[in-house]
Chains A and B, each alone.
Chain A
Amino acid sequence: MNRYTILVYTENFIGILNRITIIFTRRGINIDALTASESRLDGIHKITIEVTVTEEQIIQLTKQIEKVVDVIKAYCFKDEEVVYQEIALYKVPIESLDPGLEKVIRQFNAHIIAAEKEFVVIEFTGHKEDTQALLEILKPFNLLEFSRSGRVAIAKPKFSVQEYLNNQT
């Protein structure tokens, strides 16, 4: 089993996310994380899916995703073939703000992005291992809440969905 990132370029069509996720459901495969947003190209959405499967499975999954009518193109990559980041937010009670916490924030190069009367919100981006490490450290500081995004990724190999579309006509 390896960790893979699938980049899916789709039409902006109602239900497209469902059509893609049921491919995983049917095969009993858990999606580790999923992010969807508009892409660089007008009207084309980009879905980033992180999944832990075998090489055989990832090839089949990618083909099945690409088979969906409203999917323009799907690419799969190993971790080392993508530049990726995840963002994490940590809510810590104001009483926990002490020199110990300050040191942690400095060490991690994390940011306090909001300060309320009763708590502060710390933001930190990195790979899951990094955000997880900070989570473990912040737990003893009476961490109130934690939220982590799915990965966003840029592929290292050169490819262009625009070029792909141009070549099709």
Chain B
Amino acid sequence: MIRGADIVVKSLIEENSEYIFGYPGGAIMPVYDALYDYSDQIKHVLTRHEQGAIHAAQGYARVSGKVGVVLVTSGPGATNLITGLADALIDSTPLVCITGQVAAHLLGSDAFQETDVVGLSMPGTKWNIQVRSVEEIAPAIAKAFHIAKTGRPGPVLVDITKNAQIEFGEFNYAPCLSVRSFRPYVKINEKAVADAATLINTAKQPYVLFGQGVVLANAEAELKAFLDKTGIPAASTLLGSGALPQDHPSYVGKLGMHGNYAPNLLTNQCDVLIAVGMRFDDRVTGDLKRYAKQAKVIHLELDPSEIDKNVKTTVAIQGDCKVSLALLTEAVQSNSHPEWMQRFRELENEEKLAVMTNDLHATQGGLHMGEVIRLINQFKEEDAVLVTDVGQHQMIAWRYFDYKTTRTQVTSGGLGTMGFALPAALGAQLYDYKRQVVCVVGDGGIQMTIQELGTIMQTKAPVKVVLLNNNYLGMVRQWQQLFFDKRYSFTELENPDFIKIAEAYSFKARKVTEREDLEASVAEMLLHQGPYFLEVVVEKEDNVFPMIATGCSVEEVRLS
């Protein structure tokens, strides 16, 4: 017989968890006490805030494909997870979050640090459960891991009362292999595959949109094989970036509000639209009433609730896209679409002239964010991970980063969580100390979770932090400029001396204000062995283009 607290830790070890990201407190103390005995089998990372813990677990999960584990106390410890839960749910990130809870006899009594975590987290979790006795602990954790990683991944939460952690019970861990009410994988409908193949074979201007579903299904090779055979132009969503190397001949760019010109504009000129593992987010579609109305739509998607949700399909292929892409590749004819592809290349040149050249190679005026990303590309390793926060820097970094391998893109896509990047970069780095992790942040977002510099210091994770500082909440300021008559309402920041802060946390730090110093600084950062903090002071009022304004159609994408 062992304590419930030991069962918690041993269950996590049984699930091959490498890291726990957490923060102790009263109602989880027995588990922390148990952890003391298992430090040779599982590593714990003490973040500086519970939000930091969950974002770090997200970063870890996104680059590793494994389940991220979070351990926090009841009450405020648990409520501080809510943003991360909502973020992980909408971005399909597998997490198991364990929260301590007051003893079962105190539930509902407004006890110290008691809060209804199960109720609070319900809309932000794929599944959650409260455990009130020792014998429920291992089965609940086993089920939690199964649900988090199976089907469309997502965050789950297990709330464990203090009495259950203290009670003694038997430990016989049985992994959960199936849940009768939860069967996410269905057999691929062969007729749907045949119908889709017919549409694709007869299409004049077919077009592939791929999203994170390809990465989550480990279907990168299947996507590449499909594109190799069909020669269809393919564009990526924000979270799909990296699923296809950007130098692949079919790759034509990025979709969405600040994506590339051609991929947005030509959405309304294709005749067959093949969406793979993406959910037609409003930032991708713009005005739905004027989105790809001319096209027959094929949707390869695991989650049935995404099919026909925003865009009505002609042929839906429900199921694991690793399987359906392979079947579809077999069923289609070899083909090429040189003239259609040429349209993308022509418009790409327009974008280069109108936007990219100045973004990337400006010679006068303030520094552009794009220049920094260009230099990162120049000096980075091939499989470097790009972690970004939310805002202008996120869109610029995404637009210009050279994605060569999968699982190199970590950002808050669906929820748009400022403060995500710094802890997420820590989590991504801990998965592999040897891999380059570049964390690009803005001066607004970094200050939402800046305390996690302390966790990076303590773990010695060699994260490269690139702060693109314009002393503004830049994306909001851009909107104020374009749509609110330049009324810059509460978007200008008086910032601290970031270099002093970084140095206080033992980072090697450097600030760049002049163009001629930039290249050497970026090179120095990427060659540096330990944590590095590079602040680049950029043009104060720069805007991100192309842009599809809210309510506009994809074909109204503007270059300035």
- Which A residues have a C-beta under 8 Å from some C-beta of B? 10-11, 14-15, 18-19, 22, 26, 59-60, 63-64, 66-67, 69-72, 165, 168
Contact = CB atoms under 8 A, between A and B. Distances in A.
Given A10-B181, A11-B181, A72-B181, A67 B303 contact: yes
A125 to B, nearest CB: 32
A71 B181 contact: yes
B127 interface: yes
Interface stretch (B115-123, B347-355, B358-366): B115-123
A69 B309 contact: no
A69 B182 contact: yes
Given A59-B308, A67-B305, A18 B119 contact: yes
B123 A26 contact: yes
B105 interface: no
A14 B182 CA distance: 17
Interface size class, chain B: 10 to 19
Contacts of B308: 59
A64 B130 contact: no
A60 B122 contact: no
B126 interface: yes
A128 B182 CA distance: 35
A63 B180 CA distance: 17
Contacts of B179: 69
10 contacts: A11-B180, A11-B181, A22-B122, A60-B305, A63-B304, A66-B305, A67-B303, A69-B182, A70-B181, A72-B181
Contact of A22 (B123, B130, B180, B304): B123
A67 B302 CA distance: 11
Contacts of A14: 130
Contacts of A11: 180-181
B147 A19 contact: no
A69 B144 CA distance: 11
B183 interface: yes
Nearest to B128: A15
A165 B128 CA distance: 23
A129 B1 CA distance: 61
B146 to A, nearest CB: 10
Nearest to A168: B183
B367 to A, nearest CB: 43
Complex A-B, nearest 7 residue pairs according to Cβ-Cβ distance, in ascending order: A63-B305, A69-B127, A72-B181, A69-B182, A67-B305, A11-B181, A168-B183
Contacts of B119: 15, 18
Interface centre among B123, B126, B181, by most chain A C-beta atoms within 10 angstroms, is B181
A67 B127 CA distance: 10
A66 B123 CA distance: 15
B122 A165 contact: no
Given A63-B305, A64-B305, A69-B147, A15 B180 contact: no
A14 B305 CA distance: 24
Given A18-B122, A19-B122, A69 B181 contact: yes
A168 B180 contact: yes
Which of B130, B182, B303, B304 is most buried by chain A, counting CB atoms within 10 A of its CB? Answer: B182
Contacts of A60: 305, 309
Interface in B151-205: 179-183
B119 to A, nearest CB: 7
A64 B305 CA distance: 6
Contacts of B305: 60, 63-64, 66-67
Nearest to A14: B130
A165 B180 contact: yes
B147 A15 contact: no
A14 B303 CA distance: 25
B182 A15 contact: no
Contacts of A168: 180, 183
Contacts of B180: 11, 72, 165, 168
B311 to A, nearest CB: 13
A71 B182 CA distance: 8
Contacts of B126: 69
Interface string B111-147: 0000000110011001110100000000000000001
A106 B375 CA distance: 89
A10 B182 CA distance: 11
Nearest to B127: A69
A12 to B, nearest CB: 11
Interface in B302-343: 303-305, 308-309
A79 B123 CA distance: 30
Nearest to A60: B309
Contacts of A10: 181
A46 to B, nearest CB: 13
Nearest to B147: A69
Contacts of A67: 303-305
Interface string B409-420: 000000000000
Nearest to B303: A67
A28 B180 CA distance: 31
A70 B181 CA distance: 5
A83 to B, nearest CB: 26
B306 to A, nearest CB: 9
A165 B179 CA distance: 11
A71 B119 CA distance: 18
Contacts of A66: 304-305
Contacts of B304: 63, 66-67
A78 B127 CA distance: 30
B279 to A, nearest CB: 13
A70 B238 CA distance: 31
A11 B127 CA distance: 13
Given A14-B130, A15-B118, A26-B123, 12 more contacts: A15-B122, A59-B308, A63-B304, A63-B305, A63-B309, A64-B305, A66-B304, A67-B304, A69-B126, A69-B147, A70-B181, A165-B180
Contacts of B128: 15
A50 B182 CA distance: 24
Contacts of B309: 60, 63
B141 to A, nearest CB: 15
A71 B123 CA distance: 15
A18 B305 CA distance: 19
A67 B123 CA distance: 13
A57 to B, nearest CB: 11
Nearest to B154: A69
A87 B304 CA distance: 36
Contacts of A64: 305
A69 B182 CA distance: 5
